[in-house]
């Protein structure tokens, strides 16, 4: 996640090109994204020239409990992912011609959904590209193995500060084991840690 010096994932302008250039290093089998992250980009997708699915690319899995995402074909055709999958709770949903994994009740059971991604799509390495709410929910479930923070030279005013781990979830106690710290350009530091639950 791109974060400020005081741990916020919002309220500052991240270096998006640097973020996605580093994200390419992960070589994930799947990218996990929350519905809010996708909805913030749907207008851009509507008018874009899209190359189509990327053969051999990762799967895009979108946590969409409320069935709010509709641009499934555009997401598939962005040119980064090979296919898209909606992760949904067990609630009636409109069909948009997208593959679904249904777990949980009103909310997606994230542990069960990740297990299904692993068994149905051989997902071993999953990268989360989302805001603090999804990250916090994953951490609350003990479902995060590693974190990579791109620390930007910014401090965020308290009224706009949103912690990268969500802040609203009861996260179990864990320890961080240092994997790597490196300078990225002149002013960003990447901190990678393994989480030990």
Q: What is the pTM of this model?
A: 0.90
Q: What is the pLDDT of residue 167?
A: 65
Residue 135 included in any domain: no
Q: For the ranges 73-82, 151-160, 168-177, which has the lowest average pLDDT?
A: 168-177
CA 159/CA 167 separation, integer angstroms: 14
Q: What is the pLDDT of residue 136?
A: 87
List 195's β-bridge partners, or say none.
Answer: 176
- 17 and 33, same domain (yes or no): no
- 38 and 99, same domain (yes or no): yes
61-98: pLDDT as tens digits: 999 988 899 899 899 999 999 999 999 998 777 767 78
Q: What is the pLDDT of residue 53?
A: 95
CA 4/CA 155 separation, integer angstroms: 6
Residue 131 included in any domain: no
Residue 115 included in any domain: yes
Last residue of one domain, picked from the residues 66, 89, 124: 124
- 91 and 148, same domain (yes or no): no
- 54 and 117, same domain (yes or no): yes
pLDDT bin (cut points 50, 70, 90) of residue 8 is confident
- 13 and 88, same domain (yes or no): no
User: Where would I find the beta strands (DSSP E) of 18-153?
Assistant: 30-34, 59-63, 83-88, 99-102, 126-128, 146-151
- 95 and 113, same domain (yes or no): yes
CATH number at residue 118: 3.40.430.10
Q: What is the pLDDT of residue 160?
A: 66
Residue 137 included in any domain: no
16-49: pLDDT as tens digits: 888 888 888 889 999 999 999 999 888 888 778 8
90-131: pLDDT as tens digits: 877 776 778 999 999 989 999 999 999 999 999 999 999 987
- 37 and 8, same domain (yes or no): no
Q: Rounded to an integer, what is the distance from CA 147 to the centroid of its chain? A: 12
Q: What is the pLDDT of residue 10?
A: 85
Residue 132 included in any domain: no
| Tally of structural domains, the chain | 2
Residue 61 included in any domain: yes
- 100 and 160, same domain (yes or no): no
Residue 32 included in any domain: yes
Range of the domain at 45: 28-124
Last residue of one domain, picked from the residues 124, 151, 181: 124
Task: Give one DSSP letter per residue of 113-136, joined into a string.
Answer: HHHHHHHHH----EEE-S-HHHHH
């Amino acid at each position: 996640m791109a974060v400020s010096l005081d741990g916020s994932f919002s309220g500052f302008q991240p270096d998006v090109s640097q973020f996605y250039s580093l994200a390419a290093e992960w070589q994930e089998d799947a990218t996990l994204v929350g519905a809010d992250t996708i909805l913030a980009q749907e207008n851009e997708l509507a008018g874009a020239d899209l190359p189509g699915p990327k053969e051999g690319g990762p799967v895009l899995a979108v946590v969409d409990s409320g069935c709010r995402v509709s641009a499934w074909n555009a997401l598939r055709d962005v040119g980064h992912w090979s296919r898209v999958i909606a992760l949904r709770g067990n609630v009636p949903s409109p069909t948009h011609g997208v593959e679904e994994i249904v777990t949980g009740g009103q909310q997606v059971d994230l542990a069960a959904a990740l297990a299904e991604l692993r068994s149905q799509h051989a997902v071993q390495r999953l990268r989360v590209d989302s805001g603090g709410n999804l990250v916090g929910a994953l951490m609350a479930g003990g479902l995060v193995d590693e974190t990579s923070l791109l620390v930007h030279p910014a401090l965020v005013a308290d009224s706009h500060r949103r912690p990268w781990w969500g802040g609203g979830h009861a996260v179990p106690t864990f320890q961080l084991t240092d994997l790597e710290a490196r300078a990225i350009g002149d002013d960003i530091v990447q901190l990678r840690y393994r989480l030990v639950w």
